Amino acid sequence: MFFSRLELDRDKSRALYLQVADHLRHRIESGELACDTRLPASRVLAKQLGVNRVTVVNAYAELEAEGLVTTKVGSGTYVTAANETSVHDDQTPMPVRLGGPPLRRHWNAGQMMNEMMRLARQPGVLSFAAGTPASEFIPVNEFRRAINDVLRRDGADALQYEEASGYFPLRQVIAEMLQDQDIEVKANDILITAGCQQAMDIALQVMARGKDNVLVVEEPCYLGLLDLLSSKRITPVGVPMDEHGMRVDQLEQIILRHRPSLIYSTPNFHNPTGISIPLERRMAMLEIAARYGVPILEDTTYDELYYESKPLPTLKSLDTNDIVFHAGGFSKTLVPGIRIGYLVAPQSLQERVVTTKQTTDILTSPLNQRALHAYLESGGFPDHLKMVRTAYQTRRDTMLAAMEQHFPDEARWQRPGGGIYLWVEMPQPGPTATELYLTAINYNVAFSIGSVFSAGGYFAHAMRLNFAGCPPDEIEEGIRRLGKAWKELLSRSNTLAEPRRVSLHIL
Amino acid sequence: MFFSRLELDRDKSRALYLQVADHLRHRIESGELACDTRLPASRVLAKQLGVNRVTVVNAYAELEAEGLVTTKVGSGTYVTAANETSVHDDQTPMPVRLGGPPLRRHWNAGQMMNEMMRLARQPGVLSFAAGTPASEFIPVNEFRRAINDVLRRDGADALQYEEASGYFPLRQVIAEMLQDQDIEVKANDILITAGCQQAMDIALQVMARGKDNVLVVEEPCYLGLLDLLSSKRITPVGVPMDEHGMRVDQLEQIILRHRPSLIYSTPNFHNPTGISIPLERRMAMLEIAARYGVPILEDTTYDELYYESKPLPTLKSLDTNDIVFHAGGFSKTLVPGIRIGYLVAPQSLQERVVTTKQTTDILTSPLNQRALHAYLESGGFPDHLKMVRTAYQTRRDTMLAAMEQHFPDEARWQRPGGGIYLWVEMPQPGPTATELYLTAINYNVAFSIGSVFSAGGYFAHAMRLNFAGCPPDEIEEGIRRLGKAWKELLSRSNTLAEPRRVSLHIL
């Protein structure tokens, strides 16, 4: 039998799922379970071992977090290629020239994100990898003034404890901003968080309180959300996207099959694809969510970064059933480093989100909240947004033009109406984004590989480029380098006698 | 049969434990299950319902979080007195005069904390309730200078994204501070967090990843930790304390019985009791923890607030097995509102704590981190600490003297060597802290009732007083008012013909 040797210690000196994971890890690392081996379905293995199916699901999740296996939606769990990131070491020696530790074999999404951040800061590298907005537009002096005004006005009050829900005048200003978007909301409905990421963390803590939670995500999906799910042992189930975003026609089946705790969606200028969802799909999504009582977590991080026309109404503004968590922030539009975001939860859950926020970190810095409030009250934000939109639009168009000029003819992309990302699809068959990444680093240019944005291990032939973070001349130079790396890689691939073993998933 | 009417929906449209909780809630709220009814042992009810015992444990935990039942360690789970907070409404009309919503019947610890915070801010109230340090010692001008220096020096870099682990120079300074306490630590071992609370949240996220987690806590215990456990569905199991802190002689039995994920302890100037643990008990705790492989989470929030002699060595400095999470911060000693704390995890878990931090809120405000670093580098912190220690020592002695003068003779307390709290035990039989609280509010004085600090529902006859937050004249006046309220309550109790129904647990 496949698992005849697995003896579990029922006395729980170590949790059962970890014992199962330990056993599988050992057999994968010893090579006994070869790359691409399909592991038994969780139900089957559970029966074989005489454990709850959930134990096996968790064991697989543990191994997936370690990069040892990959779950493909609707297909199964497979042993990940042990050497898929060492293509170059095996075949075409090409050491990474940058400082720091060598690239690791098994990375989870969080480690990948760290590596991207590290690369983005290496001197000489033009990086389109991170989700960083342009530093040159951060209104440093305005914030310095705001902080000084606040400390002069409020003194120690700005540095003491206060309500977990947030500084009331800031909540009022944010409520007014949301009211302008036709969201019916009062200051008391708003929870101030440490950035939009914490807003999502809190929504998850509130909604995914039981066990064996599943979350519906768009496929591909924001990396930080996938990583949050991984650290919380929540299983993401992807809904495919087309050029109009989430395939809402598949949502109902997925809900019926997986009974998710929550649906996560970025309807406007989606990360990583830049796609926006049309109105009728938004209505359909809300209708299905309401019918099955599954709340939606709406991520509005990029809503204010539109370049042609204003974004369509948010899900929250269309929500007549009070089932939408609305999360937003100021990191991409204004300033990442003061760490202020907000969450509007459904009414019945608002008390719980405040309690959760309080248990997590007591409150968000009252100084930073007051400084943001003072800045917003000064009236400069609308003009700042106009300026940023104009600049980012130019950068988008610069990058699109450079891609047109330098990328291989077979590459495909869309022109996003907002946000800060371009999503590029690479021809198949052909080198993967991982291979291109390792080549491009030698040309001192970096991007994000597509597979890190996937819940199901897809998008090995896609990449995400941040067009907003660098000035136009660097964009042109970076895309030129990337095009050159790409063409070099293609010509190298073509001269190989054998088709190369291709990495499918995580770097 | 007791639960003959409970039909569970096995199709899981709602989690089983919630279905069990729903059913019990209904029967409690309808009055069918009367106050003080002992619910069946989880094992018994699980058998009756044909569910896993864990399902029942979770259902009880849910109801406990809602304040509907109380678990007494070693005794069982009881329906909470439905009217225990409305003693006055029922018997001696005494409406709360303060603004805001009326006192609620069912509070969990988080709601209680919110209420304390709210009361602390009511005009005219002298509050010893919150854990707030004195506003007048927050070095506002020094921080303003530090922030301005940072923004002038670093510009937008201080407001951009950076590493999740924290601003490296700040980690270096904190490492040096810890090295001075004989902790072997390097800057890279330190994770910067949003206050000590987030350090503990992250340690819990990392250690309590499986299911049905149990955490060992001191009994009584820091409220914010209990609340964090409640929101994470982690069951606290209390170790009794004596005048030398945790009864380490009982730790082994508790570990064997409950197999906890972690032991939480505040060895120095414990909150709420002010007690410090002697060296031999620390060694014994470490030895037992290592023997059973249960890590310890050490909370050092109050370590620097010592008034006679320096605190004994931290658990981390004594730890030869690398099993201690060491959490600290600057909120009580320096400034709450910049929200900076730190976590030193065991080596093998350091990568995981950074990933967890990143998924939770990306990073702690780099501006605040740099401002704290600039402040610490300016060299003023040691003198600030000396000043605060002197002032708080005076306040402690002022409060002790006032208590001696104004409290009933039967009241008992210890003289803590540090921290900011006095723990007062009220005579039994006699009015509870809850009753005193409701009387004291009418005298415009507030404190924390003891039972909110209890994992097991104890300490109804205890209260915690923060002696650090108010200047000496307010301490004298507040304790005078509290003594007067207490004596009024005692004389009122004595004149009642019948002994009054006494609230045992949560307000």
Asked if A338 and B17 come within 8 Å (Cβ–Cβ), the reply is no
B211: which chain A residues are within 8 Å (Cβ-Cβ)?
15, 211
Q: Which candidate from B132, B228, B365 shows the least CB-CB separation from A339?
A: B365
Q: Which candidate from A164, A194, A331 shows the least CB-CB separation from B194?
A: A194
Contacts of B301 (CB under 8 A, 6+ apart): B196, B266, B271, B327, B328, B329, B331, B332
* Mutation site for B-interface testing, chosen from A159, A212, A255 by largest number of B Cβ within 10 Å: A159
| B394-415 confidence digits (pLDDT tens) | 999 999 999 999 999 999 999 9
Asked if A365 and B338 come within 8 Å (Cβ–Cβ), the reply is yes
Phi first, then psi, for residue A50 (nearest 5°) are: 70, 35
CA dist A250 to A240, A284, A288, A324, A460, Å?
Answer: 8, 11, 10, 20, 23
Asked if B211 and A210 come within 8 Å (Cβ–Cβ), the reply is no
Where in chain B are all domains bearing CATH 3.40.640.10? 140-379
Looking at chain A, the whole-number percentage of residues with pLDDT higher than 90 is 69
Query: What pLDDT was estimated at residue B323?
Result: 97
* Mutation site for B-interface testing, chosen from A58, A112, A149, A160 by largest number of B Cβ within 10 Å: A160
Q: Which candidate from A231, A232, A335 shows the least CB-CB separation from B159?
A: A335
- Residue B421 per-residue DSSP state: E
Where in chain B are all domains bearing CATH 3.90.1150.10? 87-136+383-495
CA angle B494, B500, B506 (to 5 degrees): 120
A166: which chain B residues are within 8 Å (Cβ-Cβ)?
none
Asked if B132 and A160 come within 8 Å (Cβ–Cβ), the reply is yes
| B362-383 confidence digits (pLDDT tens) | 999 999 999 999 999 999 999 9
CA dist B278 to B267, B286, B310, B368, B434, Å?
Answer: 8, 13, 13, 36, 32
Partners of B76 in the β-ladder? B72
Q: Which residues of B479-502 are buried (b: 16+ CB within 10 A; e: fewer)?
A: bbbbbebbeebbeebeeeeeeeeb
Q: Which candidate from A131, A136, A198 shows the least CB-CB separation from B360?
A: A198
Tokens of B71: 């678990």
Contacts of A75 (CB under 8 A, 6+ apart): none
Query: What gap in Å lies between CA B274 and CA A479, rounded to an integer?
Result: 62
Contacts of B435 (CB under 8 A, 6+ apart): B87, B489, B502, B503
* Mutation site for A-interface testing, chosen from B137, B207, B214, B231 by largest number of A Cβ within 10 Å: B231
For the domain bounded by B87-136+383-495, which CATH number is listed? Answer: 3.90.1150.10
For the domain bounded by B16-79, which CATH number is listed? Answer: 1.10.10.10
Query: What pLDDT was estimated at residue A83?
Result: 36
What residue in B sits closest to A203 (Cα-Cα)? B360
Rg (CA), chain A: 24
Asked if A279 and A245 touch (Cβ cutoff 8 Å), the reply is no
Q: Which candidate from A15, A114, A140 shows the least CB-CB separation from B155?
A: A140
| B77-88 confidence digits (pLDDT tens) | 888 754 333 222
Confidence of residue B13 (pLDDT cuts 50, 70, 90): low
More reliable by pLDDT, A63 or B450: B450
Query: What pLDDT was estimated at residue B97?
Result: 26
Query: What pLDDT was estimated at residue A499?
Result: 42
Query: What pLDDT was estimated at residue A109?
Result: 55
- From the options 3.90.1150.10, 3.40.640.10, 3.40.50.300, 3.40.50.620, give the CATH code of B140-379: 3.40.640.10
Query: Which amino acid, A426?
Result: M
What residue in A sits closest to B202 (Cα-Cα)? A360
Return the number of other C-beta atoms located less than 10 Å from residue A214's C-beta: 20
* Mutation site for A-interface testing, chosen from B138, B294, B350, B358 by largest number of A Cβ within 10 Å: B358
Confidence of residue A319 (pLDDT cuts 50, 70, 90): very high
Average pLDDT of chain B to the nearest whole number: 87
How does DSSP assign B425-456, residue by residue? EPPSSS--HHHHHHHHHHTTEE-EEGGGG-SS
How does DSSP assign A492-505, residue by residue? HHHH-SSPPP---S
Q: What is the tally of helices (H) and strands (E) in chain B? A: 17, 16
Select from B292, B348, B283 the least CA-distant residue to B314. B283
Query: What pLDDT was estimated at residue A381?
Result: 98
| B199-213 confidence digits (pLDDT tens) | 999 999 999 877 789
Q: Which candidate from A18, A231, A362 shows the least CB-CB separation from B355?
A: A231
Q: Which candidate from B159, B210, B259 shows the least CB-CB separation from A17?
A: B210
Asked if A355 and B205 come within 8 Å (Cβ–Cβ), the reply is no
Tally C-beta pairs within 8 A across A and B.
200
What residue in B sits closest to A226 (Cα-Cα)? B359
Confidence of residue B11 (pLDDT cuts 50, 70, 90): low
Asked if A130 and B201 come within 8 Å (Cβ–Cβ), the reply is no
Asked if A367 and B337 come within 8 Å (Cβ–Cβ), the reply is yes
Query: What pLDDT was estimated at residue B382?
Result: 98
Tokens of B85: 């907070």
Confidence of residue A16 (pLDDT cuts 50, 70, 90): confident
**Token pair 């649906």 is at which residue?**
A263
A205: which chain B residues are within 8 Å (Cβ-Cβ)?
231-232
| A148-197 confidence digits (pLDDT tens) | 999 999 999 999 999 999 999 999 999 999 999 999 999 999 999 999 99
Query: What gap in Å lies between CA B346 and CA B348, rounded to an integer?
Result: 6
Asked if A158 and B201 come within 8 Å (Cβ–Cβ), the reply is no
